[in-house]
Amino acid sequence: MALYGLLSISDLLKPGFFYAVAAGFAVLIVVLLILIYWNLYKRKQAFFRPESFRMGFELWVSKLVLEDTQIPASRIPAKFAKHLKQRDKRQFALNSLIELKKSVAGTVGDKVVALYLELGFKADSIEKLDSPVWYKKVKGINELSVMKQEDMNARIFKLTNNRNKYIRREAQAAMFNFYGFRGLRFLNVLTHSLSDWQQLNLIEQLRPLDPEPIPGLSNWLYSDNNTVVVFALKLAEIYQCFEVHDEVVSCLTHEREEVRGQAAKTLKEIAGDATAAILCERYASETPRNKIVILNSLTAIAGDAQQPFLMKELDSGNDFLKLGAARVIVTCCTAGWGLLESKAAQQPLPFRNIYNHLRFELKR
């Protein structure tokens, strides 16, 4: 309102006023362009400076670990020492060493660890381990694990049962990374569940190792933690731990269906003379899902002694169980194909279809 009081309509229509407004906008545009340019320039600097540091640092590390020199005796170039005082560049350098350590072993790997210690990065990792922020703690555990800082195992072991699933998973992986099979001792105290995904990851980490006795396996099969029992059964299956056969048999009466099912799978790999009979005995009290599992296991370990049981199961009301029983008969019984063909002649549906299916499946 004050502006309208100072300027009349005739003043607003004068050319000079329009020139003044245009000049003002021009100045504003120039200022905005300068600010945009300055922002882009600073961003360009922020990109290329770390890139230059990255290339120089990685080249220096590569030469250092490949040379026949001792890392602690090597002098850190001043240009890197200066940069490593900056938190972001220091973390970048640490990340580079972590990635390098994951891809090398032997003497070169030892040199990477020595450089990690020489540059004082262990203190950085411990600082993260002490952090109350979960993702920083996870990062610290990972760094100490990759760099094989086994003197930290007592502190990391305490985190293997942490309520935060990400912390305990990283801590469990670290214990395995330190000690291999012996690192699985965290299963003795684990109260939280061990997810299928985590079990798979642990098993995949174990595969490259040479098989060896698994301390604590018998105890894990009696654990109050059902997921620990399942994982122990999987280990017994994969590594054919015949010494725990009786403990695995006891798992067939476990209250949880998934435990009983995994026990039936495991017994297929560690079977003794009486195992097939034991599975047949447990069959009647099982769920349909686990009955199929038992029949699949019997395919590898049954014999003529199980023929009466299997012939009886052909009369089951579940077609999947009929197919499973028929598969065991033709695979494990001496006159299996003749028995199934005779059954198909007496009862064409569904046994003629089952007979033809198994002929195709087993290429007989």
Phi, psi of 132 (to 5 degrees): -80, -10
pLDDT tens for the 364 residues of the chain, in order: 444 455 566 665 667 666 777 788 888 888 888 888 877 766 765 555 556 677 778 888 888 887 766 665 556 777 777 778 888 888 888 998 999 999 888 888 999 999 999 899 999 999 999 999 999 999 999 999 999 999 999 999 999 999 999 999 999 999 988 998 999 999 999 999 999 999 998 999 888 888 888 989 999 999 999 999 999 999 999 999 999 999 999 999 999 999 999 999 999 999 999 999 999 999 999 999 999 999 999 999 999 999 999 999 999 989 999 999 999 999 999 999 999 999 999 999 999 999 999 999 997 6
CATH of 213-298, one of 1.25.10, 2.40.350, 3.30.450, 3.30.1490: 1.25.10
DSSP states of 138-161 as a string?
Answer: HHHHHHHHHTT-GGGHHHHHGGGG
Q: Which residues, 6 or more positions from 251, have their beta carbon under 8 angstroms from its beta carbon? A: 221, 229, 233, 259, 260, 262, 263
Question: Taking every pair of C-alpha atoms in the chain, what is the biggest distance, in angstroms?
Answer: 115
Please tell me the predicted confidence (pLDDT) of residue 44. Answer: 62
| Domain definitions of the chain by residue range | 213-298, 302-364
Start-to-end C-alpha separation, the chain: 100
Q: How far out from the chain centre does Cα 259 lie?
A: 21
